[in-house]
Amino acid sequence: MRWAHSVEQVRSAEQDLMARLPEGALMQRAAAGLATAVAELLGAMYGARVLLLVGGGDNGGDALYAGARLVRRGAVVEAVLLSEHAHTDGLAAFRGAGGRVVDRADAHRPDVVVDGIVGIGGRPGLRPEAEQVLAGLAGVPVVAVDLPSGVDADTGRLDGPHVRADLTVTFGTHKTAHLVDPAALACGVVHLVDLGLELPAPGVEALQAEDVAALLPRPGPFDHKYTRGVVGVHAGSAAYPGAAVLATSAAVSGLAGMVRYAGSAADAVRARHPEVVVSDGRVQAWVVGSGGDADAEQALAAALADGVPVVVDADALVHLEQHPGRRRGLVLTPHAGELARMLDADRAEVEADQLGWARRAAAAYDEVVLLKGRHTLVAHPDGRVRVTTSGVPWLAVAGAGDVLAGLVGSLLAAGLEPYDAASVGSWLHGAAAALAADGGPLQASAVADAIPATVRRLLA
């Protein structure tokens, strides 16, 4: 599991650890990890030029101590001080090792910039002086210390100018902004340096392959198609029959025992998947709304009346308010525009604060909400959130959401709780897209077809 903690949690854990360590030991651990990461990025160290941008916080001290280590390894390291309160001991160590403090106009164009301007406790945004320095370094790879300066650590928001890093070296644990967009995009690749912190339960987490493997439902020796779960799919319409094909394609991937289809696209579904049963009967979960058009309202009402968990997607989302009664075990799967309509907000507001709005939606509807995006968020009504980081940009293609809905529905039918079904389904969806794309473009149907191979790799 990859955990993300708040600034307050991190500060508290650091203070507890510092009380047990010699003075300065924790900063030296961080600086050693930072220096190693910069050296690995550079490759050849001797004669490489490194420029430190140093603010007045502890991450400026981390940068200075790391700079001293890089000097001793043969790099030419210069520092621009962007605060009158640079870390005193770090600055002495840097100068003592042979590092050079320069004005920005005197700095040589470096091979890499180390951003130590503002730490995780800083306010979002950058001062004009820092903006100007960064503007003159366009095109140079940037390594951020703990978090790109100007980014909000606890929300994932980008409020004002900020650093865009190629690599972020963080310490002790991930912070929310490392996982949640739009801030996560500004972090580049994130490298974690373990400091040995004792941390409380996180508010945000990201499943890793081993976590997904542990949660996956697997058939036992005496299972049959009914005990493994039957998923009902009421998707597609006269206008969008392909949505029914895509949703059932994911549902028949083998994670549940059987798929029933109800809807107006039965002929298209049977032509692609003869194993799908087109008849009435009991199901353990429903998938409704994908490409549903005018059929979505009736499909949602029937699924809710069935008393089983339901994936509510696309066109069915707009009809939820008409059914305020029985609410238990739903997974709502909006994209940013749909969630904005659900909460009477602007899409731009949702995209700017994805974590905040996902939590608001989960609390307002008292159901699990899966907010689709580059880093999909799965929010529980109690405030917990899981982030999916397994996808690829090529997954932004028509029909991908239909596949995701069918996949999550099959996991619900197989017995996973809604929070687990949504987060496992989202992870598998992204991993299947990465496998199918193989570095290039793909279609939604290829994502569905890649699910069994993705599961096999996971279980191997």
- Domain check: are 102 and 246 in the same one? no
- Domain check: are 301 and 378 in the same one? yes
Peptide bond into 241 cis (omega under 30): no
- Domain check: are 274 and 146 in the same one? no
Model pLDDT for residues 260-292, shown as the tens digit of each residue: 999 999 999 999 999 999 999 999 999 999 999
Q: What is the CATH number of the domain that holds 323?
A: 3.40.1190.20
* Beta pairing, strands 76-81 & 258-261: unpaired
Predicted pLDDT at 300: 95
Q: What is the CATH number of the domain that holds 115?
A: 3.40.50.10260
Pick the last residue of a domain from 186, 206, 226: 206
Sequence-ordered strand ranges (E) for 20-60 = 49-54
221, burial (CB in 10 Å: exposed 0-12, middle 13-18, buried 19+)? exposed
Per the structure, the complete domain to which residue 58 belongs is given by 2-206
Q: Say which residues have a Cβ less than 8 Å from residue 307's Cβ, sequence separation at least 6.
A: 326
Predicted pLDDT at 325: 62
Annotate 139-204 with DSSP letters as a single string.
TS-EEEESS-TT--TTT----S-----SEEEEESSEEHHHHSTTHHHHH-EEEEEP--------SE
- Domain check: are 288 and 183 in the same one? no
* Arithmetic mean of pLDDT over the chain: 95
- Domain check: are 188 and 215 in the same one? no
* Beta pairing, strands 100-101 & 112-116: unpaired
Pick the last residue of a domain from 157, 174, 206: 206
- Domain check: are 98 and 244 in the same one? no
Model pLDDT for residues 339-388, shown as the tens digit of each residue: 999 999 999 999 999 999 999 999 999 999 999 999 999 999 999 999 99
Model pLDDT for residues 84-123, shown as the tens digit of each residue: 899 999 999 999 999 999 997 677 899 999 999 998 877 8
- Domain check: are 258 and 149 in the same one? no
Pick the last residue of a domain from 154, 176, 206: 206
Report residue 146 as tokens.
Answer: 């703990």
- Domain check: are 104 and 129 in the same one? yes
- Domain check: are 170 and 284 in the same one? no
- Domain check: are 52 and 172 in the same one? yes
- Count: domains in the chain: 2
- Domain check: are 196 and 345 in the same one? no
Report residue 379 as tokens.
Answer: 């929010």
- Distances in Å between the Cα of 453 and the Cα atoms of 90, 248, 253, 284 are 51, 17, 10, 25
Task: Tell me, yes or no, if the pTM score tops 0.85.
Answer: yes
- Domain check: are 228 and 279 in the same one? yes
